[in-house]
Amino acid sequence: MARKLLLASAGAGKSQRIAGEALKRAANGDRVLLLTYTINNQVELVRHICRANRVQPRNVVVKGWYEFLLEDMVRPYQRCIVPERISGIILNSANPHLGRTSSGKTFYYKGRAEKSDGHCNPLHFVTKEDSRAHTYYLAKLAAMIHEQTGGKPACRLSEIYNTVFIDEMQDLVGWDFAIIRSLVETSIAKFDCVGDFRQSVYQTSETTKKPQTIKEKLAEFKEMGFKIENLAISWRCIQSICDLADRVHAKDGHYAPTKSQVVTLPPEYADHNGVFAVPASRIVDYINAYNPVILRWDRRTKKQLCEGRIVYNFGESKGLGFDRILIIPPARHAKFLRGDTTAFDDANTDDSRNKLYVGITRARYSVAFSHEGGAVITGAQVWNPGD
């Protein structure tokens, strides 16, 4: 089996690349499965396919990760662990077995342990009332079914497909890797994983199972025989934006500098492009002047300002591209944008840092951020016209 891990920076055109590759394989008569994490990206992949080929060929199937786990890795053989048909999934934002008392103490619900009487406990994986699978444990369930059936789900999958691409592989974590491993062991001829660890913004399943960190994930891919390739280019962002984005993860030392592939700047952006620190008092002026898309932490951020304007949360904006953006930075982002390289050092996860990276790399021509005063990160200029 040919295995490749492609580390592509934001805007490198990986979705288009995957779509193209999938179409090429499909034209050869291969049966292709494209997997991705978010619905946005699922739509994006289909759009790329249809842009190139008008229709999605019958032998190219695009599925979301949970849909894939449920339909292909769980249900066909679920009865060895969960006798009742799993009716669907329930999206968990945290461990569903963890409760909190009114006084704030956490506790585990009874009867939901992984094993009971030495057997796998269905209630660890599905809801009691309507047999929906907890997404938090879905990959774990799939991995256990795989183990108990001696690899039947992966075997079935290899009878259906001979080419598998996983886009947004950065969002895979913990038990998801057991599934990747199960596919590696089959007769599937080509298996590519594509993504960018810096864009991982979803914490999706059990957090104790390794691999969790970028380092662990990279090691795991290598150990499974994936050949690692880099694609450090951007078709979206101009060079100054690439430079700012690179700075977010510069400390890790994993990534090559991103080279912008944007060669011509449309004339209407000529007078205002690059990175700008906008004083908080001038935000409305800035918005009125350049009409940027606003990126924020979540719905509670600056409600009044965002009202009636085009706004995305950082997470939601993934995979999208805008001409101009305005970031409303939470505390750590603001610290970083003041030039403090230790801004993310005290964070437990990469979540906040990655969200900033995703945010910055949405912009084609200009990135602005609200600035409360103090120093400004290298490469950014303070926007203060009329001064």
Which residues of this chain interact with other proteins, rule CB under 8 A? 71-72, 75-80, 85-86, 149, 152, 156, 159-160
Give the residue with the Cβ less far from other proteins, 68 or 197. 68
Three-state SS string over the chain comes to CEEEEEEECCCCCHHHHHHHHHHHHHHCCCCEEEEECCHHHHHHHHHHHHHHHCCCCCCEEEEEHHHHHHHHHHHHHHHHCCCCCCCEEECCCCCCCEEECCCCCEEECCCCCCEECCEECHHHHECCCCCEEEHHHHHHHHHHHHHHCCCHHHHHHHHHCCEEEECCHHHCCCCHHHHHHHHHCCCCCEEEEEECHHHCCCCCCCCCCCCCCHHHHHHHHHHCCCEEEEECEECCCCHHHHHHHHHHCHHHCCCCCCEECCCCCCHHHCCCCEEEEEEHHHHHHHHHHHCCEEEECCCCCCHHHHCCCCEEECCCCCCCCEEEEEECCCHHHHHHHCCCCCCCCCCCCCHHHHHHHHHHCCEEEEEEEEECCCCCCCCEEECCCCC
Give the residue with the Cβ less far from other proteins, 79 or 215. 79
Residues counted in the chain: 387
The C-alpha atoms of residue 351 and residue 50 are separated, in whole angstroms, by 33
Cα–Cα nearest to 196, from 167, 239, 234 = 167
Q: Which is nearer to other proteins, 77 or 221 (CB)?
A: 77
Nearer to other proteins, 75 or 247 (CB): 75
State the nearest-atom distance from the C-beta of 152 to other proteins, in Å: 6
**Cβ distance to other proteins smaller for residue 160 or 310:** 160
Whether 267 and 241 have beta carbons less than 8 Å apart is answered as no
CB of 74 to other proteins, least distance (A): 9
Nearer of residues 75 and 190 to other proteins, judged by Cβ = 75
- Nearest distance, CB of residue 342 and other proteins, angstroms: 51
Q: What gap in Å lies between CA 157 and CA 351, rounded to an integer? A: 33
Q: Which of 29/386 has CB closer to other proteins?
A: 29
Closer to other proteins by CB, 80 or 347: give it.
80
Closest separation in Å from C-beta 238 to other proteins: 45
Least separation in angstroms between residue 187's CB and other proteins is 12
Please state the closest distance from residue 18 (CB atom) to other proteins, in A: 22
Nearer to other proteins, 40 or 53 (CB): 53
Task: Supply the minimum distance, in Å, between the C-beta of residue 80 and other proteins.
Answer: 8
Min dist. Cβ of residue 83 to other proteins (A): 10
Q: How far is the CB of 96 from other proteins (least distance, A)?
A: 22
